[in-house]
Amino acid sequence: MNQACENSRIVGCSFSVHPMSDQFVTYIMDSLKEVDTSKVWLHTDDVTTTVRGRMEHVFDVTKAILLHIAKTGVHVAFQGTFSIGCPGDTSGDVYMDESSERLNETKVTGLRLLIAAKFSLYPMGGGDYMDTIYAQIEAMKSKGVEVSPAHYSTRLDGDTHDIFTGLEDVFRETEESGSSHTVMTVTVSANSPSHKETE
Amino acid sequence: MNQACENSRIVGCSFSVHPMSDQFVTYIMDSLKEVDTSKVWLHTDDVTTTVRGRMEHVFDVTKAILLHIAKTGVHVAFQGTFSIGCPGDTSGDVYMDESSERLNETKVTGLRLLIAAKFSLYPMGGGDYMDTIYAQIEAMKSKGVEVSPAHYSTRLDGDTHDIFTGLEDVFRETEESGSSHTVMTVTVSANSPSHKETE
């Protein structure tokens, strides 16, 4: 698949981050101050935040927001729905003209943090969608993260960068395999007291 | 659709609740003490909790857990993925023999709380899935809640009971319309400081 085609459709992510702290607003605002969102369309309301743009920037921004909160050590949950090819949503198409350079990678690349994540892939509109899902779960096993089955999802344990790279790869490969409308849900838990007990 | 058929397939929900407080563990544990989960299969790990059983009990339990936390006034987010017909998951099938009486309804029915929710419906494996989605969004408008478009989802504002009843109806009707595998994601925000500002 060539670059022009790879970048031909806008990606969106509707997500929320939940620092489990009385100071949740401060954690979120401090993180947003550190994240460069200039290459994505961004809209926040009281339930979720939506970012839209080129695939690499949507993953770059969501990972950076999570990492800048998680680096503080607070227990934080992230829940995001990544979408491509959804009929009817066109906001932010102008952001497809941005260059591919990721604006936040340099700043977060030194932040190494083990997280637990669960993801589910939903290739819509096709009858052989389960084959696509199983193929992408297999592919995830080569991304340097621990992959295990979970209920209605696949569990990933590993470094935040490896997990987000794996998720972006899986999402891109599902799109490139011909799925006209792909949805991927991701739930992340960082700095959980449960993790600390088992480490 | 007769009762026997309506209840022929197990429903699951993988969810997490996030009280935005230093005392998040206490809020969750206190809620679980008040919720009767004896009619569902339940498994919790460090990322999500999964419940499986008859459709009415899965919605009964998830609503009750949310309400028992939200009644304290703490800002809490709920994120759940409801699933029916997922190939390969069979845990908890024995719970399909439970009676239909909801165990938590009496205790929570007096808890009236306005929440904001977003839901997305994913009928898998069929080409006309968008028609099903649009029909169910239309149907939601008759459920006594405010319905508005959002990015990759539909926004609902109203009382917790009305919203959960609407979601259960939509999920059941999608299943009964012939979708072999249906997924519905739900994100809820209760007691948000943003809500209080606008009230």
Q: Which of B20, B74, B130 to mutate to test the interface with A (most CBs of A within 10 A)?
A: B20
Smallest Cα distance from B99 to chain A, Å: 24
CB contact under 8 A, A81 and B153: yes
Which segments of B are annotated as binding site? 17, 49
**Residue A4 in this model has a pLDDT that exceeds 70:** no
Cβ contact A83–B152 (<8 Å) = yes
Say what the ipTM of the complex is.
0.90
Q: Of B46, B89, B153, which is closest to A189 when you measure between CB atoms? A: B46
Cα(A151)–Cα(A143) distance, rounded to whole angstroms?
A: 21
This prediction's pTM:
0.92
Does the beta-carbon distance from B24 to A24 stay under 8 Å? no
Contact B77 A20 (CB under 8 A): no
Region B107-134 average pLDDT: 91
Helix ranges (H only) for chain A are 3-6, 24-34, 55-70, 105-108, 129-140, 160-176, 193-198
Q: Are B165 and B117 in contact (CB under 8 A)?
A: no
Which residue from B45, B46, B70, B58 is spatially nearest to B11, judged by alpha carbons? B58
Topology of domain A11-89+108-190 in CATH is: Alpha-Beta Plaits (3.30.70)
Mean pLDDT value across chain A: 91
A-chain CB neighbours of B188 within 8 Å are 47
The per-residue pLDDT for range A30-87, each reduced to its tens digit, is 999 999 999 999 999 999 999 999 999 999 999 999 999 999 999 999 999 999 998 7
From the list B113, B112, B131, B111, the residue with the least C-alpha distance to B121 is B131
To test the contact with chain A by mutation, choose from B130, B152, B157 the residue with the greatest count of A C-beta atoms within 10 A, namely B152
Rounded Cα gap, residues A130 and B125, in angstroms: 9
Tell me the domain boundaries of chain A.
Answer: 11-89+108-190
Contacts of A52 in chain B (CB under 8 A): 151
Q: Cβ–Cβ of B192/A46 closer than 8 Å?
A: yes
In 3-state terms, what secondary structure has residue A149? Answer: strand
Instruction: Report pLDDT digits (tens) over B11-25.
Output: 999 999 999 999 999
**Residues whose CB falls within 8 Å of the CB of residue A23, separated by 6 or more in sequence, listed in order:** none
Beta strands A146-150 and A181-190, pairing class: unpaired
User: Is the Cβ pair A194, B46 closer than 8 Å?
Assistant: yes
Helices then strands, each counted (H, E), chain B: 7, 8
